[in-house]
Amino acid sequence: MDARVDREGRDECTDALPCGYRIGRWEVTGPIASGGWATVYAARPVDDTDGAEEVALKVLPTAGLAPSQARKVAETARREVELGRRTGHPRLIRLLDSLVLSAPDHPFLDGAIVLVMERARGSLRPLLEAGVTEAEAAGLFTGICEGLAHLHRSGWVHGDLKPDNVLLMADGSVRLSDFGLATELTGTHGTHGYAPPMGTLDYLPPERWKAPLGEQGVEVRPSADIWALGIMIHEAFAAGAAPFPGATPAARGAAVQEYAEGRAPLRLAGAMPPFWRELATDCLAPTHTERAVHTAESLLARIAARPATAGHPAAPPTRRRRRLVRAAVLAAAGCGAAAAIWSSMAPEAPAGHPAAVGSAGDISQTSGRIRVFNIEQSCRQRKDRSPQCSLGLAIDPLQPYTIDNVVPTRVWHGDVLAVECRLPQGMPIIDEAGTQSAQWFRVRLPAGAKRSTAWLPAVRTQDRPAVPECPRPTPLR
């Protein structure tokens, strides 16, 4: 059906869709989130005499798109509508209506597809990054597995399972959402389907990185959702950190391939309790065949029968330490595999208080000072000191990077550190652009840090200060 947009007498609260716009029987109250193809807005009923509650409007614009892009948008919406029509379940977000907008006075909205869905209070992402207890994890992943089991029984693969697409309702229950990449199982015996070569890189299983692209797309199977579930289980006990090292999604994807090919072990966070470590390991089996034996239903049964636990938090309970840091990553060339630098217990440094001694001015000719450099351009442009863009400092420059070989203090692009000396031959490091160096700099940490010094690899700076050579260090652990 078509719906007309009414903007009479309202003030704009976003450039794309002003507050007060009426879409069908709903009035927009503000933005919730945005993605590659759609923006989600909160809305309330224009006439609440029937007791209708607030909803979420997923708006997929089509104006100005090339024909192929418009077809992708329409196909995304068709999948969500079809799945919502055929597979209703308490663990899937409910689709209430679908509209095509007629808004000739607003070119951005004219022809846009709108999906009306029940409103959630937020996504799972912030909760996982804050850390959960084992009891909380059991409740969350029980709900997720119930939703996945129903989807898979109904002949569908979610295809883009991640914390952002798991919504928390007002009563604390979870709902799977965002079915734009959902795939119906139509292959032989209903074991696989085909989807466009799209998805969130950090949650793609190893086989998807090399899947051949045919006329119907790439092959998708339920085991892809199981892999994504394993990533989320790890994130729940590692402050939102991924189990595979890399400063960018592509770098983490390369680490996934090394693991799948047997060239690197699966390294899970030390904070993971034994039951959840075993569950995540099974979900992250390197091949589809090994993973396929662990269905959503069997995982659900294992969670229900798990040993009783005290439910101690996996993350520090104090508010100050609930915002935990994701890992920055280096690759250890000498090992032939990528290795992570990250700390599941380190608090994010507040803006304006870097682990540096300064940040302004030209230091290229200044002895004893060095500026941190992040090869990832998107991180160089950020000013908010995001945990995802933080970089790690080593305890021992002669050892491979594992969880216990980093200091809690984080640094970001542009931080200026005090340098004591340089080590010409330490552990060889390769950055995300392929630059390799075995040189390291010993830098001073700010007052109050547990250690007075740490080590920055030369690939993480473009400066080469005139400092003395360090004596060969003895093991620091």
Instruction: List pLDDT tens digits, range 273-292.
Output: 999 999 999 999 999 999 99
3-state secondary structure of 30: strand
Asked if domains 2-118 and 122-304 share a fold, the reply is no
Q: Which of 167, 31, 18 is nearest to 90 (CA)?
A: 167
Cβ 226 vs Cβ 278: under 8 Å: no
Structure confidence at residue 447 (pLDDT): 84
Structure confidence at residue 138 (pLDDT): 95
Q: Which residues lie across from 331 on neighbouring strands? A: 338, 430
Q: Which residues lie across from 454 on neighbouring strands? A: 443
Task: Residues 2-118: name the CATH superfamily.
Answer: Phosphorylase Kinase; domain 1 (3.30.200.20)
- Buried b / exposed e along 283-322 (16+ C-beta atoms within 10 A): bbbbebeebeebbbeebbeebeebeeeeeebbbbeeeebb
Give the predicted TM-score (pTM) of the model: 0.61
CB-based contacts of 308, cutoff 8 Å, min separation 6: none
Place of tokens 């390291």: 440
Q: Which of 166, 51, 74 is nearest to 120 (CA)?
A: 166
Structure confidence at residue 404 (pLDDT): 53
Ranges of the chain with pLDDT below 50:
1-2, 4-12, 14-15, 310-366, 403, 476-477
Tell me the two tokens of residue 336: 């032939």
Tell me the two tokens of residue 441: 């700099």
pLDDT in tens, 400-415: 655 456 788 888 999 9
Structure confidence at residue 8 (pLDDT): 42
What's CA 27's distance to the chain center, in Å? 31
Question: Which ranges constitute the DSSP H helices of 264-399?
Answer: 274-283, 288-292, 296-304, 377-380
Structure confidence at residue 153 (pLDDT): 92
**Topology of the domain covering 122-304:** Transferase(Phosphotransferase); domain 1 (1.10.510)
∠ CA 101-102-103, rounded to 5° = 105
The residue extents of the domains of the chain are 2-118, 122-304, 325-460
